[in-house]
Amino acid sequence: MARVRPARGPIARPKSPMPIASDALYQLIYISTAVQPFGERELSELLRHSRRSNQTRGLTGMLLYHEGSFLQVLEGPKQEVLRLYARIERDPRHVTSRVLLRGEVPERSFAGWAMGFYRTTSESEAELQGFPDVLAHGFAERVRQEPDRARTALLAFRRDAWRPHVSVSIEPAA
């Protein structure tokens, strides 16, 4: 897999020395903080809307909600990914949105997932082998300092052991 370069600063529109075709497969990983904690109802509505919208736009990805922070990977046509991220940045429900990694990729990491989702709970440590190593307390600040940690956390949900705990259907599980 091609290496996605870390972002520098809160850049919404990445610059590239060579233009990337508008239909190039692009991946963007960001983190943001919820202004108010999201409850089950808000998360369910967010997922329902995101999954339907992503399917029509050819986007895939994974959303992790952990300690009041959102860590998300978006992938698909570059212009669609950038358009969606610009909308996310304007969403008043979160603050301190920051791109961690971005760039053209040869293949999707989350093919077939309109939006995979996992919300950490007090049971996460028991459910997910290796959880303390990936999502320990202070995770949000650490991934801002070490963007590759974000990729590691998100890709862990594709592994066999963590995969059963991910919600990927259009209608979130109750």
pTM for this entry: 0.78
Per the CB < 8 A criterion, the answer to whether 104 and 2 are in contact is yes
Tokens of 126: 């028991």
Taking only the tens place, the pLDDT of each residue in 104-144 is 999 999 998 999 999 988 788 777 776 666 666 667 777 77
Q: What pLDDT is stored for residue 138 in this prediction?
A: 67
Domain assignments of the chain as residue spans, ordered by start: 20-119+132-164
15 CA to centre of own chain: 21
Give residue 156's pLDDT. Answer: 82
The closest alpha carbon to 31, from 71, 59, 60, 65, belongs to 71
pLDDT above 90 coverage of the chain, percent: 47
Distance (Å, rounded) from C-alpha 124 to C-alpha 18?
Answer: 42
In this prediction, residues 5-16 reach a mean pLDDT of 41
CB 152, CB 167: distance < 8 Å: no
Residues 56-87 have pLDDT tens digits of 999 999 999 988 889 999 999 999 999 999 99
pLDDT at 135: 63
Q: What CATH fold (topology level) applies to the domain 20-119+132-164?
A: Alpha-Beta Plaits (3.30.70)
Q: How far is Cα 56 from Cα 30, in angstroms, rounded to an integer?
A: 22
Average pLDDT of every residue of the chain? 80
